[in-house]
Structure 1
Amino acid sequence: MQLEYWFATPEGARLVRIPGARSVFFLRQSDQEAAKPLVVSNRQLELRPLPLTSFDGQPVTAVYSPSHKAARQLSDRLADRNIECLEADINPADRYLMERFISGSAEIHGDWTAQGLPASPCQIRAGSYQPEFRVLSLDIETAMHELSLFSIGVHSWGSGEEQRRVFMVGNECHQDEDWIEYFPDQRALLTRFLDWLAESDPDVIIGWNVVNFDLWYLQRVAEAEGIALKMGRLGSEVYWRSLDEDGERRAARLSGRVVLDGIELLRAAFYRFESFSLNHVAGEILGDSKLLHGSGRGEEIAELFVSDKPALARYNLKDCLLVSEIFQREGLLAFAIARSTMTGLNIDRLGASVAAFDNLYLPRLHRAGFVAPNAPAEPPDSPGGFVLDSQPGIYSHVLVLDFKSLYPSIIRSFHIDPLGLALGVNPAADPKQTVPGFRGGRFAREGHILPGLIERLWQLRDEAKASGNQALSQAIKIIMNSFYGVLGSPGCRFFDPRLASSITLRGHEILQQSRDYIERAGHRVIYGDTDSVFVWIHTASNAEQAAAAGKALEADLNQWWSERLTSEFGLVSALELEFETHFLRFLMPTVRGSDKGSKKRYAGIVEAGGELRTVFKGLENVRTDWTRLARQFQEELYERVFREQPYESYVKQTAQSLSAGECDDLLVYRKRLRRRLQDYQRNVPPHVQAARLYEERGLARPRRGDWVEYVITQAGAEPVLARQSPLDYQHYRDKQLAPVADGILSFLGTSFAALTDQQITLF
């Protein structure tokens, strides 16, 4: 078996080949005799006892195979005989790198031909090289309904070079538009684009929904024209893999190149937008927009293709430039590189938290003398984050005290670790040399891995922040915070309810005891959520007094927890409480239709940079399934209340404007289809009702994952682009304005109805 890796080097891309690699998994030596009949039948397989043990303390034997496919087939056959195979799922290409601690960068030792190909087998080891990738931003324009490619726009940059070009079907010749190339048909266009791609030779291809739209469309055009879509290096074709049962979501692999989708990368970096459309994100980040952005954009594109191809080319290129600018402005490529450097995963493997954990943990586990267990077949549940009951009301001077990276801090402080658990619950373990957890868990004070790994990542993040490397700092933060999610995931090979519960239940305890300490100090905790407590400083008469109380609580609680862990457990505390936010005015609402306090929903006003700013969490203002009318109404109304400004006339005027038809463009609902249309049978929500009207009203049928925009009319839900009935203003009054208003007016002794009802109430 030969492993192949592509690396970006100062001299261009290099292909590294490692011959003679083998796939390996492990058996308990007690199972070796039972496994031998299946192993010895294949002379290419090798059994070799190793000085490693399983988590239950049994010595293991390695099974080596020259083929990963053969190794997986053997492990499946052994599993059928109830013989457990450990680490059989690890790909040899991943294992080769992780065991050598090669993550992102490497030193390569070998010889190459003039074409940059290996002249002999190469050796690689961990390195620290930071590449400058050649990047290609790609976007296509097509017909709305039939398979017809209009143009391909490209913007390439990196290594000091830049190109802007559009390949377009057409016979025009414009001397002043030399960046446009015209071709007689889509076959000639695609052929020329593939030749140009091979010549420009980018390392990274970026775009907006670039895999599931642009590349997949090009694949379909190539198949229709009998062309191989050779977008990888060395003339290799795109390799496709389906990500769902319907084949609507796909992954594309290009040998020697990486494809990064802007939407997925922003989500991986925890960006939040009302919409992830290119036009919306460009507006939020760049203050710029597409050249066409109306609801009839598809028709406009088709019209430009017929009447004004240079205008269509400018539109096509603009989309490429917007994607490039978003990547550059937000450092998205730097974030992807930093994440790869920290985890060892390829830069296009977004998400993949379990794989990232394996890459970091397994080589350290092996050096400690152990092999990893398999994920449990039927894992029991583990508790989640803890939420303190909230006290609804409107308050002045509410402070948020936040535990910095609480779960990673708990792991560090209490030595929580998969190997530490295996050692700690061993009957031979000395209880004095363990730290108690929850649900029977105990963790060894020595020999653990994860606490030290987190401590090292913590140090690296502090260094990244100090040097201004925001991309690396953010990548490390996401990786550290993902560790609990991984250990609490049934798909993780280390999942154990004692492990996950010892993190979450310790978090519950810390939150509850912190609340008790704060209230003993004379303050009131009105809410708490996972790693934060909301404290009402009811004695404060101004912002300075409230801030002083917050700083005092921060110092006192950190000292108290440090002393507590030392005296009770003999541990050094890594817990760190921060006085994070001061709300001058704060609303904790009730659950709608109840007097019970809400959870994960609040609003307040803070001072930032000398200006007042309203913050919303979990309320209608930040939820895309509410109309823009409701969100704008809530923002203005709450600001007036928080700033103690008159609000009654504003509520009345908004209700009147709605009824007068002056807010029609703000009444659109927007919701994503989570399933296929035909899968909605019993409960058919409004967005599905509207989606089922698309085709009969001349609109493209939406698919699973698409956004549906609709309005509520007197005939029910209808597509916003094909509405036929009058709008139901009473619906919007009752379901959008009234709930938003009453969420805060109820604390002021009034209501939406009381302010807007035109009738005289009789008593």
Structure 2
Amino acid sequence: MTQAFLLTSHWQDTATDTQLTFWWLTPEGPVRQQLQHPSVCFIPLSDQPRASSIAATLGWPVVIRPVPLQHFDGTAAAACYLPTGYVYRWRDVLQEQGIPCRETDIRPTDRYLMERFVYGAAVLHGDLQPDPQRNFYHCQAGKIRSPSGPDWRPPLRCLSLDIETSFPRRGQPDRLFSVGLYADDCQRVLMLGEPDASTPTLQFFADEPALLQALLQQLADYDPDVIMGWNIVQFDFEFLRRKFQQHHIPFTLGRDGSELEWRQSRSNPERIFLAIAGRVVLDGIDLLRNATYQFESFALNDVAQHFLGEQKLLTGADRGGDIEQLFLHDKPALAAYNLKDCQLVWQIFARAGLLEFAIERARMTGLTLDRNGGSVAAFENLYLPRLHRAGFVAPDIGDGYSAEKSPGGYVMNSRPGLFEHVLVLDFKSLYPSIIRTFCIDPMGLVEGMRLPAATDHSVVPGFFGGRFHPQRHILPALIRQLGDKREQAKQAGNKALSQAIKVIMASCYGVLGSEGCRFYDTRLSASITKRGHEIIQRSSQWLQQQGYDVIYGDTDSVFVWLKTSVSDEQADRIGRQLVQGLNAWWAATLQREFGIISYLEMEYETHYRRFFMPSIRGAEEGSKKRYAGLIVDARGEPQMVFKGLETVRSDWTPLARNFQKELYRRIFLQQPYAQWLRDEVKALLAGERDEQLVYRKRLRQPLSAYQKNIPPHAQAAAKLEQWLQLKGLPSRFGQRGGRIEYRMTLNGPEPLWPDGSVGAAVDYGHYLEKQLRPLAEAIFHFIGEDFADLAGLQLSLF
């Protein structure tokens, strides 16, 4: 018996069965475990005779047995056991005969583990035999159990990898220049060059085949569990795969000597998936997004500056040209650049806790470390085994009710203006709390719909005609368990686990509202979102009855204007009293109306000393999800908060963002701003703010797709493409779009030229009218000021 943590899983068919292969990390080392186990799917029991006859006619190895399960329509079920390779063909044949076949799309490895409640961590029962040639153990057959005690924390052996290549040019083959490898105990760059110039850190190889063979040997010698990088799957490994293929060298990265497996997404051919036996490849960008980090740009340089305060060694606009120049004239400098990129990735993983997040997510959901996204799969891993033990087979995608569309989160029409003393009250985990309180659950919906509609609290009413069983359900208890574990993680200071659980809990609503989920049913999603609407609206009514005005509400929050001058201590006391009273009111109301316990919990979140809600530009109506406020931080210092305004939007220039931030700060703190504004305008016109005039925007499609009403950033990209073509340099926007930096000039939008040339004169009038003036007038409208007057200029001249 040994503790284990799942690295990778795979399956392949035998003549009559399916072989499941699991790679585990254990205290003894890597373990490959292989088991024989059939795949399973379900049909109505009444169709068993016909299905058995079809299997016999086809000569397929299908075994059909009755099971103590029922479909959502109440019909008894039979299970079909067969090799995985037959599953989809079996489903299609049965469907042609009018026999529904369910749960055919579940990976056999996922099903095997989830039905044993094994999520990431496990206990292996079986003999471990060392491989005679490689550094791992075999475990033939044996058993896998869920740990009963504290989970073992895997000491994953990691390696950061990054490649440097030539930039593709028409008619010229791309070239692999170097591969960097970095860990605390390994810093190495493999590079094309004269072999006799090697050093311990920098090794040279005469040609690409020699370099690729050396890379395989280095990885085999270091034997990492995890290979990490930045866009590593879509770029680094895709490039390496093509190079191995070009030189007819097997890309044998597997711990057992097997080749890397590669496939493209059917829906998005640019999306690539790979699998390596016993090794995990983790991409920093994907993990940051899964951990809900948000950045204007996920470029390595930008993220490194955020987390580390460091930069790449090359940051110019023509980085591809710079890399080629270093390869030709200064290979040690290129090696330093390559290794620095590896190091930055390594440090970002450490600083952001990305590896810990991936481990905790795997331990909570059963998804492998490299399974990015996967919210539907995570939900099914948690829900399906519980559903089966409750006696049900899961439905197929499309089986649920969808005649009416569920709305999104509630966003109240705001009251625009500049206010004194606004409190933000926030429902803690509103959607999960609604699921718990109102017993919202796929199985609970099936059981509830079998009961008659009643007013005696025997069912819990939902929306779109749905009703839920008050006792027979799964998801409310699962939400409670996740919530309890998150509180324990918070108390223990385990931020990675807390964040992983938060993401999982938030996704429980999302998957029920996703058409790609087998449990999609708008009676479920609407019973969450429409109930959320009702809760915010009724909470607002209660607060207004207490003598306060609710000036805005957004999904799970209400913004309460106190309408009186108070101290910070008085505001905090009012906030605490309001949430205490509202929570008690909801508890009594839900018990009276539905006979249910309320798990709704309103919290007092923020006191804004001053608060600004802008109107929609050119209208009197208040905006949504856009505001600014002044709070006092833990040190007693005033701090500005911006939500959705230009200051926090990457498509506005640094000039505008800095201007709005400082202008609003002065107004909120009641400091002089007239002379400051006039000085800022003069500095702009004098050319003293030119470094802040750059727009940074992304072309979200190839440049050729912009044909009519071409926006400024596409115009700038077109000019840059023409410049690159004249210089014989590769296209930047021809295939996938990309990010462009440009200024507005008297000659229209112009890119930042890679050679550093200045270009046409800046159109300062554009920046006054399109950047500064709208930001100022948005708040001046409420304080009786005029931008043109304060600026001291006849702006119509610009």
Q: Same fold (TM over 0.5)?
A: yes
- Tell me the CA shift for residue 374 of structure 1: 1.2
1:511 aligns with 2:536: yes
- Tell me the CA shift for residue 187 of structure 1: 2.0
Q: How does 1:532-543 map to 2 (within 5 A)?
A: 532-543=557-568
Q: Which amino acid aligns with 2:111?
A: R
Q: Which amino acid aligns with 1:324?
A: W
Instruction: Rate the CA distance shift 1:696–1:553 in 2: closer, same or farther, 3 A.
Output: same
* Partner SS for 1:233: coil
Q: Which amino acid aligns with 1:716?
A: G
- Tell me the CA shift for residue 9 of structure 1: 1.1
Q: Whole-Å Cα distance in 1 between the matches of residues 266 and 704 of structure 2? A: 16
Which residue matches 1:16?
33
Task: Output one character per residue of 1:478-530: Cα deviation in whole Å (capped at 9) or x when no partner.
Answer: 10011111111111111111111111111111101111111111111110000
Q: How does 1:171-250 map to 2 (within 5 A)?
A: 171=194, 177-243=199-265, 247-250=269-272
* Partner SS for 2:376: helix
Q: Whole-Å Cα distance in 1 between the matches of residues 699 and 599 of structure 2? A: 44
Of 734, 744, 755, which residue of structure 1 is paired with 2:779?
A: 744
Q: Which amino acid aligns with 1:417?
A: D
Q: Which amino acid aligns with 1:659?
A: L
1:644 aligns with 2:661: no
Number of aligned pairs? 754
* Partner SS for 2:187: strand
Q: Whole-Å Cα distance in 1 between the matches of residues 458 and 722 of structure 2? A: 72
Q: How does 1:529-678 map to 2 (within 5 A)?
A: 529-610=554-635, 611-678=637-704
- Tell me the CA shift for residue 757 of structure 1: 5.4
Instruction: Rate the CA distance shift 1:733–1:291 in 2: closer, same or farther, 3 A.
Output: same
Which residues of structure 2 form unaligned runs of 5+? 1-17
Q: Whole-Å Cα distance in 2 between the matches of residues 491 and 111 of structure 1? A: 41
Q: Whole-Å Cα distance in 2 between the matches of residues 150 and 553 of structure 1? A: 64
Of 747, 750, 754, which residue of structure 2 is paired with 1:718?
A: 750
1:469 aligns with 2:494: yes
- Tell me the CA shift for residue 472 of structure 1: 0.3
* Partner SS for 1:48: strand
Q: Which amino acid aligns with 1:725?
A: A
Of 99, 124, 133, which residue of structure 2 is paired with 1:108?
A: 124
- Tell me the CA shift for residue 302 of structure 1: 1.9
Q: Which amino acid aligns with 1:302?
A: E
Task: Output one character per residue of 1:92-143: Cα deviation in whole Å (capped at 9) or x when no partner.
Answer: 1111011111100111122233223426323211123220100011111122
Which residue matches 2:732?
701
- Tell me the CA shift for residue 716 of structure 1: 3.1
- Tell me the CA shift for residue 232 of structure 1: 2.4
Q: Which amino acid aligns with 2:192?
A: V
Instruction: Rate the CA distance shift 1:506–1:679 in 2: closer, same or farther, 3 A.
Output: same
- Tell me the CA shift for residue 345 of structure 1: 0.7
Q: Whole-Å Cα distance in 2 between the matches of residues 82 and 656 of structure 1? A: 77
Which region of structure 1 is more displaced relative to structure 2, 225-234 or 45-54? 225-234
Which residue matches 2:398?
376
Q: Which amino acid aligns with 2:174?
A: L
1:264 aligns with 2:286: yes
Instruction: Rate the CA distance shift 1:745–1:80 in 2: closer, same or farther, 3 A.
Output: farther
- Tell me the CA shift for residue 725 of structure 1: 3.4
Task: Output one character per residue of 1:620-644: Cα deviation in whole Å (capped at 9) or x when no partner.
Answer: 1111111121111111111111111
Which residue matches 2:359?
337
Which region of structure 1 is more displaced relative to structure 2, 483-492 or 560-569? 560-569
1:170 aligns with 2:203: no
Instruction: Rate the CA distance shift 1:634–1:470 in 2: closer, same or farther, 3 A.
Output: same
Q: Which amino acid aligns with 2:498?
A: S
Q: Whole-Å Cα distance in 2 between the matches of residues 760 and 167 of structure 1? A: 59
Q: How does 1:49-448 map to 2 (within 5 A)?
A: 49-66=66-83, 68-115=84-131, 116-118=136-138, 120-127=140-147, 128-145=151-168, 146-157=173-184, 162-171=185-194, 177-243=199-265, 247-376=269-398, 379-380=402-403, 381-427=405-451, 432-448=457-473
Contact 2:195/2:203, CA 8 A, preserved across alignment: no
Contact 2:33/2:139, CA 8 A, preserved across alignment: no
Q: Which amino acid aligns with 1:701?
A: R
Of 36, 52, 61, which residue of structure 2 is paired with 1:44?
A: 61
* Partner SS for 2:129: coil
* Partner SS for 1:394: strand
Contact 2:31/2:139, CA 8 A, preserved across alignment: no
* Partner SS for 1:458: helix
Q: Whole-Å Cα distance in 1 between the matches of residues 521 and 353 of structure 2? A: 37
* Partner SS for 2:659: helix
- Tell me the CA shift for residue 745 of structure 1: 1.6
Instruction: Rate the CA distance shift 1:254–1:717 in 2: closer, same or farther, 3 A.
Output: farther
- Tell me the CA shift for residue 739 of structure 1: 1.6
Contact 1:107/1:126, CA 8 A, preserved across alignment: yes
1:686 aligns with 2:721: no
Contact 1:147/1:221, CA 8 A, preserved across alignment: no
Which residue matches 1:489?
514
Q: Which amino acid aligns with 1:396?
A: E
Instruction: Rate the CA distance shift 1:422–1:727 in 2: closer, same or farther, 3 A.
Output: same
Contact 1:393/1:587, CA 8 A, preserved across alignment: yes
Q: Whole-Å Cα distance in 2 between the matches of residues 681 and 80 of structure 1? A: 46
Q: Whole-Å Cα distance in 1 between the matches of residues 60 and 507 of structure 2? A: 43
Which region of structure 1 is more displaced relative to structure 2, 536-545 or 554-563? 536-545
- Tell me the CA shift for residue 38 of structure 1: 3.0
Q: Whole-Å Cα distance in 2 between the matches of residues 34 and 710 of structure 1? A: 68
- Tell me the CA shift for residue 331 of structure 1: 1.1
Instruction: Rate the CA distance shift 1:726–1:81 in 2: closer, same or farther, 3 A.
Output: farther
* Partner SS for 1:16: strand
Task: Output one character per residue of 1:600-651: Cα deviation in whole Å (capped at 9) or x when no partner.
Answer: 0011111112222211111111111111211111111111111111122232
Instruction: Rate the CA distance shift 1:555–1:192 in 2: closer, same or farther, 3 A.
Output: same
Q: Which amino acid aligns with 1:163?
A: C
RMSD over equivalenced CA pairs, Å: 2.0
Contact 1:38/1:74, CA 8 A, preserved across alignment: no
Contact 1:540/1:546, CA 8 A, preserved across alignment: no
Instruction: Rate the CA distance shift 1:246–1:559 in 2: closer, same or farther, 3 A.
Output: closer
Q: Percent identity?
A: 51
* Partner SS for 2:61: coil
- Tell me the CA shift for residue 37 of structure 1: 4.5
- Tell me the CA shift for residue 474 of structure 1: 0.7
* Partner SS for 1:603: strand
Which region of structure 1 is more displaced relative to structure 2, 557-566 or 574-583? 557-566
Contact 1:110/1:118, CA 8 A, preserved across alignment: no
Of 744, 756, 759, which residue of structure 1 is paired with 2:794?
A: 759
- Tell me the CA shift for residue 708 of structure 1: 2.4
- Tell me the CA shift for residue 147 of structure 1: 1.2
TM-score, normalised relative to structure 2: 0.91
Q: Whole-Å Cα distance in 1 between the matches of residues 523 and 299 of structure 2? A: 42
- Tell me the CA shift for residue 477 of structure 1: 0.8
Contact 1:400/1:581, CA 8 A, preserved across alignment: yes
